[in-house]
Amino acid sequence: MIRTDEHHSCNGTLKCHSDQKQQESNSLKNGYHRKEKVQKNGKGDGFHQPRVRGEDSFEEAPMYVAVLTYMGYGIVILFGYFRDFLRAVGLEKCHQAQEREEQKDFVPLYQDFENFYKRNLYTRVRDNWNRPICSLPGPVFDIMERVSDDYNWTFRLTGRTVENVINMGSYNYLGFAENNVDFLKTVAEETRQYGVGVCSTRQELGNLSIHEKLEQLVAEFLGVESAMAFGMGFATNSMNIPALVGKGCLILSDELNHTSLILGARLSGATIRVFKHNNMQSLEKMLKEAICSGQPRTHRAWKKILIMVEGIYSMEGSLVRLPEILALKKKYKAYLYLDEAHSIGAVGPTGRGVTEHFGVDPNEVDVLMGTFTKSFGAAGGYIVGKKELVDYLRSHSHSAVYATAMSPPVVEQIIRAIKCIMGVDGTTEGWYKKGLLKDRSWDLNGRADDVISRLLFWAPFLVFHIQSRKIGIVVVGFPATPITEARARFCVSAAHTREMLDKVLQSLDELGDDIKVKFSRHRSSYRPELYDETDFELDS
């Protein structure tokens, strides 16, 4: 069945609607926005002038690097099988936990290669990948020193610490994860009034006035009709997506979406199809096929078609191509689910996320989701949108009906952070933090305004050299990434000083020269003095 103008079922949660008329937005108390028209489709006047974002300059590994990486893994795997043979014949002691004799005939709990990989590859380097922290994870933290007497099977602490390690791994984008008594006074007051826990769902005895205050503030902050807060960011995705779509619906998911989105899509029972990362041709091809062919076997029209994307993809540091996705959404009358876990608070002139970054009216996004665990230094998540959508989720979302309400001190921390960013708390700290974040970002993988940057180093053992220079990072390797794309992930925080970031950049530059891992084909400009210029003309 070929469908042209009709919607994919206008029932229930997601309302089919036409383009919104331009509206006048009120000036905020802090003077962020002047009185101007809400932007429509990223054109004309709006929240701010939309920023043009070029293609992210991600590179593939050169051929010889890929070959050497595969050869390295191959050699390690061969030695791993040889060592397993030695363990089997009793020539080498196996430190791994063993099954009891009566369970020998049971089906193995783990797949064979997963167990092999952990035993022979990951164990050899895991001390570099998960070191215990013994301080507040602020701009710097302290690491507990430990040693192993059995080749990393077990560890023992030495009692010493490695101090002042620069923290480039936390999602503390605006520096609100502090431990300052003066800043946390309001949190302490709310703790005295409400306690530390509610011990009930919001459907029963756990709905407090502070919860409603938070939701009203989030809706005002994002410029939408209504908002709902949840106690866990992961569950905000995994438990709400099944309430929005189900059998007979189609989900088009970016291939690099977070696990919470993937789990929610699977739990929904909807048909899932994956399009290439940020590839609009791949997405449009799937939309065309969905409209023309309909459901498998029956060829009936899909009840709903939901596009799921993220604002910033944490593993790549790439930014969603929101204006183009919105154009496709409207063209094919689909719905859009946007996860702003890493972009809310850290992206946009006033921290309102990728919609503000691109100058897009947030009401054009059907389901706008975000978390409080990154920029706001707290816990939980939210979903905002039309009032009808939010009211539906209050009674149909498992995360809303069955989960315990958010802890009051956590709620107050979020309120404090949002007020600070908006400037309605009477301070300029929010502007200061956001300005620091913008000023201190750097470019490892493509764009200077990214808050997450990835650095590919292909061979995972190289992370030891980075951490030996007292730089704490998040490292991801095979099997979580392709075998040739092991990477370190750097997260910029407003709490970092310029001296810290200069040290990180200098250390990375020296490290790249020392161990010969500078494989990028991109070359630095021969006129570095132009880096600080704001405007110049090319020679004719």
3 inside domain: no
d(CA 395, CA 383) in angstroms, rounded, equals 14
Cβ-proximal residues to 372 (8 Å cutoff; 6+ apart), any chain: 229, 233, 378, 379, 380, 381, 382, 410, 414, 417
Confidence of residue 354 (pLDDT cuts 50, 70, 90): very high
Tens-digit pLDDT profile for residues 52-61: 444 555 566 6
Worst-scoring range by mean pLDDT, 76-85, 330-339, 466-475?
466-475
> Cα dist. 483→65, 66, 69, 104, 475 in Å?
12, 9, 8, 32, 13
d(CA 370, CA 311) in angstroms, rounded, equals 9
Strand-strand pairing, 367-371 and 335-339: parallel
210 inside domain: yes
Strand-strand pairing, 381-385 and 226-230: antiparallel
Does 417 lie in the same domain as 374?
Answer: yes
445 inside domain: yes
Is pLDDT larger for residue 178 or for residue 331? 331
- The DSSP symbol for 245 reads -
> Cα dist. 532→379, 527, 529, 536 in Å?
38, 11, 7, 11
């167990």: which residue's tokens?
115
Cβ-proximal residues to 97 (8 Å cutoff; 6+ apart), any chain: none
Residue 273 pLDDT more than 70? yes
What is the percent of the chain with per-residue pLDDT over 90, rounded to a whole number? 40
Cβ-proximal residues to 160 (8 Å cutoff; 6+ apart), any chain: 145
Q: By C-alpha distance, which of 329, 243, 264 is closest to 290?
A: 329
Mean pLDDT across the stretch 339-364? 92
Is pLDDT larger for residue 395 or for residue 522? 395
Does 318 lie in the same domain as 217?
Answer: yes
- The DSSP symbol for 40 reads B
Does 461 lie in the same domain as 397?
Answer: no
How large is the C-alpha radius of gyration of the chain? 25
Does 485 lie in the same domain as 431?
Answer: yes
Does 484 lie in the same domain as 348?
Answer: no
Does 352 lie in the same domain as 224?
Answer: yes
Residue 353 pLDDT more than 70? yes
d(CA 309, CA 278) in angstroms, rounded, equals 9
Cα dihedral across residues 17, 20, 26, 30: positive or negative:
positive
Does 97 lie in the same domain as 221?
Answer: no
Tens-digit pLDDT profile for residues 222-268: 999 999 999 999 999 999 999 999 999 999 999 999 999 999 999 99
Does 443 lie in the same domain as 491?
Answer: yes
CATH number at residue 82: 3.90.1150.10
Q: By C-alpha distance, which of 428, 1, 429 is closest to 175?
A: 429
Does 198 lie in the same domain as 144?
Answer: no
Confidence of residue 31 (pLDDT cuts 50, 70, 90): very low
């293609």: which residue's tokens?
55
Does 382 lie in the same domain as 276?
Answer: yes
**Residue 162 lies in domain:** 61-167+427-519
Domain count, the chain: 2
Tens-digit pLDDT profile for residues 140-161: 999 998 988 888 888 999 999 9
